Amino acid sequence: MTIRFDGRVAIVTGAGNGLGRAHALGLARYGAKVVVNDFGGARDGTGGSMTAAEAVVEEIRAAGGEAMADGADVSDFEQVTAMVAKATEKWGSVDIMCANAGILRDKSFAKMEVADFAKVLNVHLNGTFYCCKAVWEGMRARNYGRIVLTTSSSGLFGNFGQANYGAAKTGMVGLMNVLAEEGRKTDIRVNIISPTAATRMTEELLPKQALDLMRPESITPAVLFLLGENAPTRTIMGAGAGSFAVIKILESEGINLPRNEWTPDAIAAHFNEIADMSKAKALEGAFQQTQKYVAQAAAAAGIKLEK
């Protein structure tokens, strides 16, 4: 089955350059009408211009597609809701949200200013929430929606000098987990991409030999898959240089300790067993953790739980 987006309306944030541009062009190539959103600021979020967004719109139109430019700042909820309203008025709906916009203000934690921490969280995490919130009710009303958020290995696995960025990007995973659950009844599927690519955000961090391999276009196929009609939901997908993977947050099977061993010394004594990942599982919801712990405690105490 060929994945297509004919008749669908998509918003891609941060689409004037890099990953967002590649995603917008890809969606348009596969039939979507695309809102190319870009505030047009510098990498640190300062400034602003519609030039980049308008250039991508011209690319899409030159190839026979439909697109419109929008300069909404994703960290401003009123601007985001106005963008969604404008797209809905023009094309009737917003079916797809690709939340990609972001900034960098990297510094070691000791040198990081409070304002720089707050600004990065506001753009990445609050901005992603605003984008999802602005399209959510319309998607619910139509019983259809596809949303892809953008996380990062900097948050999932850690990276020096990016406490603000890493915190925001991992916060998005929590948002994705909850929205995927809340969206199931109305066929709103929510996933998240963890990309690594050569963009203006990363070009100074990558060796020159890697730049051609790490083109933004290598990420877009995963994003289009996650936005498709038959997409999964609640999936973290890694992508870069043509490699694709699924990332899971796992919990070890763990052990139950009797009450007389509820001490830090007992934890230390049993830590290798507690941390054994040989039977680790990805939990599908917060209450599964509670159920597992209760079941282990009941089994240890010889208590038969009522169903």
**Domain at 9-247: CATH code:** 3.40.50.720
The DSSP letter of residue 305 is P
Please, are residues 188 and 147 in contact by the beta-carbon 8 Å criterion?
Answer: yes
Cross-strand partners of 149 = 192
Distance of CA 121 to the CA centre of its chain: 14
As a whole number of angstroms, the distance between CA 251 and CA 232 comes to: 22
As a whole number of angstroms, the distance between CA 121 and CA 30 comes to: 32
As a whole number of angstroms, the distance between CA 40 and CA 50 comes to: 6
**Count of beta carbons in the 10 Å neighbourhood of residue 303:** 11
Per residue of the chain (307 residues), what is the pLDDT tens digit? 699 999 999 999 999 999 999 999 999 999 999 999 999 866 656 766 799 999 999 999 999 999 999 999 999 999 999 999 999 999 999 999 999 999 999 999 999 999 999 999 999 999 999 999 999 999 999 999 999 999 999 999 999 999 999 999 999 999 999 999 999 999 999 999 999 987 555 566 666 766 778 889 999 999 999 999 999 999 999 999 999 999 999 999 999 999 999 999 999 999 999 999 999 999 999 999 999 999 999 999 999 988 7
The DSSP letter of residue 12 is E
Q: What are the domain boundaries of the chain?
A: 9-247, 259-301
As a whole number of angstroms, the distance between CA 74 and CA 277 comes to: 39
List the structure tokens of 217: 């276009």
As a whole number of angstroms, the distance between CA 219 and CA 200 comes to: 15
Q: What is the pLDDT of residue 213?
A: 81
Vertex 241 angle, CA 124 and 74, to 5°: 15
Distance of CA 221 to the CA centre of its chain: 15
Q: What is the pLDDT of residue 42?
A: 66
List the structure tokens of 65: 């597609």
Q: What is the pLDDT of residue 197?
A: 80
As a whole number of angstroms, the distance between CA 240 and CA 29 comes to: 21
Map residue 6 onto helix, strand or coil: coil
Q: What is the pLDDT of residue 51?
A: 94
Q: In 143-285, which ranges are continuous DSSP H helix?
A: 153-156, 163-183, 208-211, 220-226, 264-274
As a whole number of angstroms, the distance between CA 130 and CA 267 comes to: 42
Q: What is the pLDDT of residue 222?
A: 98
As a whole number of angstroms, the distance between CA 190 and CA 176 comes to: 6
Question: Could you list the active site residues?
Answer: 165
Nearest one of 73, 61, 62 to 13, comparing CA atoms:
73
Strands (E) located in the chain: 9-12, 33-37, 67-70, 96-98, 145-150, 188-195, 236-240, 243-247
Q: What is the pTM of this model?
A: 0.93
